[in-house]
A = this chain, B = another copy of it.
Amino acid sequence: MLFQSIRRLRHFVYDILQNDAHDTLFSRCVDYFLIFLIMANVAAVIAESVDQWYYPFQEYFTWFENFSIVIFSIEYLLRLWSVAEAKPDNTTWRQRWNWVRSPSALIDLVAIAPAFLNFFVSFDLRFLRILRLFRILKLTRYFVSLRILLVVLSKEKGSFQAVIFILIIMIVTASSGIYLVENHAQPDVFESIPKAMWWAVVTLTTVGYGDVTPITTAGKVLGAVITILGVGLAALPAGILATGLANELSQRREELEQHFREELVDGDFDLVQNQTMIDKIRRELGLDKEQAQDIVLQVLREQELERREKEVRQKNFCPHCGEPLD
């Protein structure tokens, strides 16, 4: 009896925390509360670095930090406990172990681990603060578009590898070249190749602070050539990402369409009335309402066209015996 109610509770917790398809008012409130807490944590870390904000309210900051750790720890334990509900037929602990090794669980662990490690090892306060900033990564769970971007990044990693490799070649070449040319004129700034790299990075990425600039004619000519060649390269990852993102989104749209089509071929699903089912599939695929509506309309139109074509085709008779061909 007790065991059954515990299992029911575990299933309830799983629905609230882990199950994306389960979408009630309460689960949404829990999501919004956690999002708010994460953002408040990031704001607190930033605010603590301002002395005139930190010292007067030091105890409030400490209190909020402790409160956050407690909440995030409870969240982590509840997730760990309830994840066993994901595939009821699997072994409980194997599922938990799989979840612990998943990227989102690791992010959750990183969000609370430093606070607990602090009991054993004494960190530098400022370094601890930065570690707390990683809590911002917990937000990835709640943003579909962010996950899509990460998917694109991992898909296009071949292109990025090539670009970063070329960028490194260019930085090494540019800094060596400028070191050769400007070393005599500005021995302090272009003292060695590693020092000249700062100029190369600042120039090739078109940041151009102006703290280090070539002053000799040869240096300026070299700088101009490097800049013209490099300016395109530095913006290349953005172009690759944008193209990849566009492809990924159009592919997802096609998947949604494919899904709808398959449901329609099976026949027992009314596109016009069954809005909740459409919404469910839509959310799983990470598309917004408008796009889904567009696709539904398009599928309906195609169905209509197909139906008409069929009617027309049924009017075709065999030209030799005069009977309809079906």
Contact = CB atoms under 8 A, between A and B. Distances in A.
Interface in A212-233: 213, 220, 223-224, 227-228, 231-233
Contact of A320 (B166, B236, B249, B321): B321
A232 B224 contact: no
Question: Which 3 A-B pairs rank lowest in CB-CB distance, beginning with the nearest?
Answer: A239-B242, A232-B237, A207-B208
Interface string A198-213: 1001110111111101
Contact of A227 (B193, B202, B244): B202
Nearest to A203: B207
A139 to B, nearest CB: 7
A172 interface: yes
A179 interface: yes
What band does the interface of chain A fall in when counting residues whose beta carbon is under 8 Å from B? 35 or more
Contacts of A158: 144-145, 148, 249, 288
Contacts of A192: 49-51
A127 interface: yes
Given A158-B249, A232-B234, A319-B326, 4 more contacts: A145-B162, A158-B288, A159-B249, A203-B207
6 contacts: A133-B173, A136-B172, A143-B161, A143-B162, A149-B159, A240-B242
